[in-house]
Amino acid sequence: MGKACQICGKNSGMYPLCAEHMIMKSEGLVEKCDECGKWHLSSEYCECQIEEYEDLPSEGFSKCVKCGAETDGYAFCLECWKRHTTSEMLDILNKKIRIKSLEEDEEPVDEENEEAEITEDEKNHVVIINEENKSKCITCGRKTDGLLFCSYCYKKYKKKDLLFKITNCSSVELLDEDYEGRYTCKDGHVVKSKSERDIDNYLFENGIQHAYEKELPYGAGNKDILHPDFYLPHYLGEGKHVYLEHWGYNENNIQYTKTKAFKMPIYKELGITLICTYEKTDTGKIDAVLERKLNKKFIKEGEINFED
């Protein structure tokens, strides 16, 4: 008898997930808990993160966890207490009723009026924060209770490094929401962004041998190691290896600048043959870009190729 899927309980053969949830995993909809190692839906909390209450608390809360109404210490207001059984309230309190279920209970949005309130900046994924509109999630623009993130974005991004561009102390733009994600490629490699996934898939589909983030020592110390995005062994002939870096950050971002400024001199000093691709200019046409940049006739050995 095979294993049971850790999410739905269906027979999954020798794997921890059934076929349906394996597909969802490749789409980034299923993730593995860093704490206990079990798989769960990305939109939900892992059970190991659930604070278990055996009895309904009568202190420690100022708002009803169900509807948000004010309370004097209780987890639920009187109306919600009347509406739900003790078991249901414990499930809600222990977060066994997941985020999506809680969101479905919210009042429906008047889409026509909501669309009318969206500015041109917000359509371009720029959130405007000002004195009259301070309670907005800085990533999606949803209303919050004065917090930086709405509950959905907090759950989605809490384990990631987010890169923002802030203009005039009010316009907040999320530069690269895919950074430090988990995307499964056609060859089974797990990469950190959609663009890296597209590059990996191109290499796989074109029969180009490659490794993802293979260690590249550059000094005598244990920590003197770089991790170029892709390594193409013997690409230009026996012993003539090629590395590929996809620069995925906006030029205005400090971390992008520091990372690139640190790596580039090392690549040049080592005489590495490096191919550069860029999120800003190459995304959306990556196959055509790679076909050109990986053309062996155009690659200069021992140099940085296509440096921006």
Across 13-27, 128-142, 165-179, 246-260, least confident range:
246-260
Where in the chain are the domains?
3-104, 111-174, 183-305
Is the pLDDT at 119 greater than 70? The verdict is no
Give every CB contact of residue 139 below 8 A, 6+ residues apart in sequence: 127, 149, 153, 157, 162, 174, 177
% of the chain beyond a pLDDT of 90: 25
% of the chain beyond a pLDDT of 70: 76
Phi, psi of 191 (to 5 degrees): -120, 175
Is the pLDDT at 101 greater than 60? The verdict is no
Across 20-29, 123-132, 272-281, least confident range:
123-132
Q: Is the domain covering 183-305 a CATH 3.40.960.10 domain?
A: yes
Question: pTM of the prediction?
Answer: 0.48
Per-residue pLDDT at 128: 75
Is the pLDDT at 15 greater than 50? The verdict is yes
Q: Residue length, the chain?
A: 308
Q: What is the mean pLDDT of residues 142-159?
A: 75
